[in-house]
Structure 1
Amino acid sequence: MRQIRDIRFAKDLRGKKVLLRLDLNRPTEILTILGKIGRISKSCEDIRFLLKQGASVIIISHWGDPQGFDKRLSMESICKRMSRVLRRKIKFVPDTVGEGARAAVGGMKPGEVIMLENLRFNPGEKTNDKEFASRLASLADIYVNSAFGVSHRKHASLNAITKFIPSYAGILLQKEVNNLAYVMHQPNRPFTLVLGGSKISTKIGMVKHLIDDVDHLLIGGALANTILAAKGVKIGKSLCDTGEFKEAKKIIQLAGDKLLLPVDAVVSNKRHKRGEVKDITSLLAGDAIMDIGPLTTDQFKIIIGDSQTIVWNGPLGVAEKPAFENGSLKIAHAIAAARYQAAYSIVGGGNTMPIIKKSKMEDHFSWVSTGGGAMLAFLAGEPMPGIEPLIE
């Protein structure tokens, strides 16, 4: 694989102003819950490194998808949270490329950190506008991208900006690329891919790209519901996307004998709101699948325990409800335990992170990715507009 320009190998950073693109696109309460596996904590390594080198740091990021200014999506609350985690004052500047931003940057001294306002308040961010990118670049001497979670987007602060300023990959981005690249290039076998969540369309690319190297494809959650329904299994009133039957059938065809779907499920109905276990072939019209069942969980755990490479993306049930988190938690523990049998494990996806945190196993995976869609895009071999300009 070609090398990415790594900020750790840049020449003297002392006295330089560094524009650091991070991905802090999470409500502050979620950032708080995730603790050390969240994007704020993981991004602090880049900031500390730059400060140690004598640079001043200008943090830029986005939050949500505003159509112009929206006070609810201001970066100010995230700035306060990051200050607490970093244990260093970060000055918030309610501007991005205007006079307010220029004045704040102009007065910076080495060792100081500021955070600019939400990039997406400017329409030029999402359109990869060169003028907006040029104005951002003019604020600093060096640009660093450590926002892996959005590096599959062709946005001004990720792509166009690299045309106007010396650009490097940050520490977090480099770690993401190195860990994910491992499973794409001769992973140790058996290789097990565990998928949950709801949308087949977001995961079909990854399945196509990795299926030749994958030995087992374990699927749960609403993703499994859609595939089961496409196979003709009656799933009651379970969440299912009938519009994705064509993609579901592609997965069935691609995976063949490698595919393992739930054989039982925890279902909710009028009599059992908190769930009862049923064989997957005996669901009634009023049943809704909420979690993988105990037999499925045991089957998945056996395969995971025998694996040498494991990638997991997406919850295996409605895990945000405590009554239906059991399957996902047990799979989290199984993947964590596999590391002690020399397995290499990567977990990721926004909805997977709270499960990892609740499992208290966050230190027991080889890598916990901060990317959701970016992780899927990278493993699908899709273009990464935020990374490609950094390749030497």
Structure 2
Amino acid sequence: MTKATIDDIDISGKRVLLRVDFNVPLRHGRVGDDRRISEALPTVNALRERGARTIIVTHIGRPGGRVDASLSVQPIADRLGELLGVDVPVARDVVGPSAQALVDALADGDVAMLENVRFEAGEERNDPALAQRLASFADVVVNDAFGTAHRAHASTEGVAHLLPAVAGYLMARELEVLGGVLGDPRRPLVAVLGGAKISTKLGVLTNLLNRVDSLHVGGAMACTFFRAKGAATGRSLVEEDKVQMARDILDVPGATAQLRLPFDVVVAAEATDGAGTEVVSWDAIPDDLMVVDVGPQTVAAIAADFRDAGTVIWNGPLGIYEVDAFARGTRAVAKALGESDAFSVVGGGDLGAAVDDSGVADSIDFISTGGGATLEFLEGCTLPGVAALRDRETVAK
């Protein structure tokens, strides 16, 4: 990890613009899952202990550059305050008079939060004027929002060119762990990729295929590979325009030894609760049914690989996780991973929830807070929010 962190600069008494990813679910005006907030606490507490004046910036939802009271950050600030044991005031705007007054009132060790940064239309288009207004509030930028690092937005990339910008502890940990998986993993390295569409995972799949010892594919995107192998897929989701691409991947020398497709699948007439299910071979999917989960033979094969693995990286559920009956394969694989001695890295989102639901979260070595950012990192892409941070060798304390 070559990027500078808050340990590499003097932040005592400095105004710190802390970009976090607190895009958490809200239920009835309260935070429904505070994992992302909790994982940023080490950075927030370190800033407080060193006397920084912390100005938190986050987005929530997709308000499209318009104020939406249902997407206010107030519930997030309330929960953060509960976890910190202090009051976390919230500005009524992002860069307006309320935000300026809030920043001006901060004392050493205080923490405050600006309103949802995506209420500003300039955020997602990386507007230089918005970046400049945000920069005017602070002396230093700390980016702890790995989940948004793949977007060149005003609060992630734009502002980092205007002030000294370093990583928070969570960002640093994400880069260290994911970089280690790609660069120097303990072997055998086993990967599991799930999800609906091969198009969203194609870059990750091809990049990992060159690095792993085995790569299991599940979810609906496996059906595109089934079609590429000449099998019928019934009413399953298939990306017809990606079938040839899947065929090309299967034709890569050595791919058949590394790429593991499901042996069996769970099928149903509808992707709804209460639908009857049956387990069939991958090449015997009935014309009137669709694939909704991986079958028990496939779960057993993945679990067997986990037992011998040195490192496991898993991104994406293996079935239609939103329907409880179709989440069984994903949960069974999560339990197998929790029992493995391998160093385990799991993507966030639905998969993080599956790990929680399976009761094995404490047995997983690292659960990433990124979604698209994790995918793009594993694909080998440069993340704008990371690239804009200072390198450690260029920063003097």
User: TM-score band, normalised by the shorter chain?
Assistant: over 0.9
1:141 aligns with 2:139: yes
Question: Do the aligned partners of 1:201 and 1:247 also contact (CA within 8 Å) in 2?
Answer: no
State the one-letter code of the partner of 1:388.
Answer: A
After TM superposition, the structure 1 stretch with the greater mean CA deviation from structure 2, 65-74 or 220-229, is: 65-74
Distance 2:31 2:245 in 1: 36
- Please name the residue that 1:305 is paired with: 307
C-alpha distance in 1 between matches for 2:142 and 2:21: 12
Deviates more, 1:20-29 or 1:167-176: 20-29
Q: Which stretch of the first structure deviates more once superposed, 92-101 or 207-216? A: 207-216
User: Given the alignment, which residue of 163, 166, 182 partners 1:165?
Assistant: 163
What CA distance in whole angstroms lies between the structure 2 residues aligned with 1:248 and 1:74?
Answer: 43
Map of 2:266 onto structure 1? 266
For 2:31 and 2:71, the matched residues in 1 are separated by 17
User: How many Å apart are 1:203 and its aligned residue?
Assistant: 1.5
User: What residue in structure 2 maps to residue 55 of structure 1?
Assistant: 52
| Distance verdict in 2 for CA 1:105–1:330, change over 3 Å | same
* 1:369 counterpart residue number: 368
C-alpha RMSD of the superposition? 1.9
CA distance in 2, matches of 1:230, 1:83: 53
2:25–2:33 contact (8 Å) kept in structure 1: no
Give, in whole Å, the separation in 2 of the partners of 1:295 and 1:324.
Answer: 16
- Name 1:318's counterpart in structure 2: 320
Report the CA distance between 1:200 and its aligned residue: 1.5
The answer to whether the Cα contact below 8 Å between 1:22 and 1:61 also exists between their aligned partners in 2 is yes
Counterpart CA distance in 1 for 2:200 and 2:333 is: 21
Q: How far is 1:28 from its partner?
A: 2.2
Matched, 1:26 2:24: yes
Q: Which residue of 2 aligns with 1:379?
A: 378
Q: Give secondary structure in 1 for the equivalent of 2:200.
A: coil
Runs of 4+ in 1 over 6 A off after TM superposition: none
CA offset at residue 34 of structure 1? 4.3
Give the AA of the match of 1:338. S
More displaced 10-residue stretch of structure 1: 216-225 or 251-260: 251-260
TM-score of the superposed pair, with normalisation by structure 1: 0.93
CA contact (8 A) 1:34 1:357 kept: no
Unaligned runs of 5+ in 2: 392-397
Structure 1 residues 180-210: Cα deviation after superposition (integer angstroms, max 9, x where no partner): 0001113222111101011212221122222
Give CA-to-partner distance per residue, 1:48-78, whole Å, 9 cap, x none.
1111111121110111222222222222222
> Residue by residue, what CA displacement relative to the aligned partner does 1:125-164 show, whole Å, maximum 9, x if unpaired?
1111211111101101211000000101111111111122
Partner Cα distance (1:186, 1:287) in 2: 43
State the partner residue of 2:395.
none
2:146–2:373: 8 Å Cα contact kept in structure 1? Answer: yes
Q: Which amino acid aligns with 2:178?
A: L
- Listed one character per residue, the Cα deviations across residues 338-379 of structure 1 (whole Å, up to 9, x for unaligned) are 23xxx2111003121110110111111121100011011111
Calculate percent identity across the aligned residue pairs: 39
**Where do residues 88-99 of structure 1 align in structure 2 (5 Å cutoff)?**
88-99=86-97
| Correspondence for 2:226 among 228, 240, 260 | 228
Which of the residues 285, 289, 295 maps onto 2:287? 285
Contact 1:207–1:251 at 8 Å: present in 2 too?
A: no
CA contact (8 A) 1:55 1:110 kept: yes
For residue 394 of structure 2, what is the aligned residue in structure 1? none
Q: How does 1:242-257 map to 2 (within 5 A)?
A: 242-254=240-252, 255-257=255-257
Query: How much does 1:243 deviate?
Result: 3.0
Name which of structure 1's ranges 59-68 and 363-372 shifts more when overlaid on structure 2.
59-68
Number of the residue aligned with 1:214: 212
Aligned position for 1:42: 39
How many Å separate the matches in 2 of 1:238 and 1:326? 18
Note if contact 2:31-2:76 (Cα within 8 Å) is conserved in structure 1. Answer: no
Q: Give the conservation status (yes or no) of the 8 Å contact 1:223–1:240.
A: yes
1:29, distance to aligned residue in structure 2 (A): 4.2
Q: Which runs of 5+ in 1 are unaligned?
A: none
Judging changes above 3 Å, is the alpha-carbon distance between structure 1 residues 108 and 174 closer, same or farther for their aligned structure 2 residues?
A: same
Secondary structure, aligned partner of 1:296: helix
